[in-house]
Amino acid sequence: MIQHIMVRHSKLQKQVLALYRQFLRAAQDKPGFIPRIRDEFRTNAAIKKTDVMHIEYLYRRAQRQLELLKDANTKQLGSFSKSKEDS
């Protein structure tokens, strides 16, 4: 018997999921962007849910990146990852 467990998402989780969908929609006409977006979100999914400040920071940064992605002139998506020395 398969049980369907309803997972309740926090407000922040819902916002991040909505942002992810917006990224995927915005990247549909830009070759090579969708795998990069998926990888970025999967990597950041490992962040602890209790690290709200870090998640909110990444969320705000992603919103700015989304605006750049929506620009018709955008051909590349930059990466802003911490180097090992910064950690």
List CB contacts of 47: < 8 A, sequence separation 6 or more. 54, 55, 58
pTM score, two decimals?
Answer: 0.74
pLDDT tens per residue, range 17-61: 999 999 999 999 888 899 999 999 999 999 999 999 999 999 999
Rounded distance between C-alpha atoms, residue 56 and residue 60, angstroms: 6
pLDDT at 3 over 70: no
Rounded distance between C-alpha atoms, residue 54 and residue 33, angstroms: 24
Using CA atoms, how far residue 66 sits from 62, 69, 83, 85, in Å, is 6, 5, 23, 28
How many CA atoms, within 13 angstroms, populate the side-chain half-sphere of residue 63?
A: 8
